[in-house]
Amino acid sequence: MIFCVRGDGWVESRGRRQVIGAGEAVIIPAGTPHAYGADLSDPWTIWWLHADGFDIAEFLRVLHPEAKDGLAQIRIRDVLAMVTLFENSLAAMERDETLASLYLASGATWQLLCQLTASQLQGPLARADRIRAAQDYLRTNLSRPVRPHELARAVNLSSSHFASLFRQATGTNVLDYVRGLRMARARELLLTTNDSVSLIASTVGYSDPFYFAREFRRVNGTPPTEFRKRAHQENA
């Protein structure tokens, strides 16, 4: 499978070329000769995987009913969920090659294929569902950089329309929404762990702990170390 996150590209097999855009995947049956490449004017960013196992035939019944007849192009229902599952699978494989890590990677990949199959069966997201998908992605990826225009493209909306729908749904813009999520998680970690402020900053998406401390004080009215100290004193 090749999954396009942004940009455009192409996949060619048996003399037939298919253009693949953001939010689309192509299924290539095992052993099928093929070539692929990025569009020159808007080169794609892709995830890809080779999968094998007892369950693959069951997935292909939905994803590629004509498995011996070239390529199958699929519109992804929830691009952001797919990206998260790819990242989970890759993180497990990057850890080491122990049996435990391989089980984690296999489980994440199986879940990814389930998500892909569900996309094929359920059809495209409604507009309200796209905003909820973006919110879910932001909540579960606090440590990652936030790029509103990329979120908009991932849910197949223009930047302006996405911004409008997001504000209607949440009452604020993407960056302020994420700041609120990060600060809430930071408060939770300060109260429930002994992690350093630097580690907490990194966990919630701030590479600079001093900037994190300034932001925390601006939002909460007190520096993170003082917030933790006062909370412990009140609960003593």
Examine residue 7 and state whether it is found in any structural domain, yes or no: yes
Same-domain check for residues 110 and 8: yes
The mean pLDDT of 161-166, rounded to a whole number, is: 88
User: Which domain CATH number covers 64?
Assistant: 2.60.120.280
* pLDDT tens string 56-90: 888 888 888 765 567 888 888 778 888 888 888 88
Q: Any residues with CB less than 8 A from the CB of 76 and at least 6 apart, and which? A: 3, 23, 24, 25, 82, 116, 119
Model confidence pLDDT, tens digit, residues 5-60:
888 999 998 888 889 988 889 988 888 899 999 999 989 999 999 988 888 888 88
139 assigned to some structural domain: no
pLDDT of residue 117: 84
- What's the pLDDT band for 124 if we cut at 50, 70, 90? low
Q: Which residue range(s) make up the domain with 52? A: 2-123
Q: Is this structure's pTM higher than 0.75?
A: no
In a domain, 133, yes or no: no
| C-beta neighbour count of 59 within 10 angstroms | 19
Among 81, 101, 123, where does a domain finish?
Answer: 123
Cβ–Cβ < 8 Å for 35, 18: no
Count the domains in the chain: 2
C-alpha closest to that of 26 among 42, 11, 14: 11
Q: Cα separation of 45 and 4, whole Å?
A: 6
Q: Which CATH number does the domain housing residue 189 bear? A: 1.10.10.60
Tokens (6 digits) for 196: 């350093």
Residues 27 and 106 in one domain: yes
pLDDT of residue 165: 86
- 39 shares its domain with 111: yes
- Given this model, what pLDDT does residue 66 score? 67
**Of 82, 107, 123, at which residue does a domain stop?**
123
Domain end (from 79, 101, 123): 123
Alpha-carbon distance values, 218 to 41, 91, 180, 214 (Å): 43, 34, 12, 6
Same domain, yes or no: 7 and 118: yes
- 14 with 115, same domain: the answer is yes
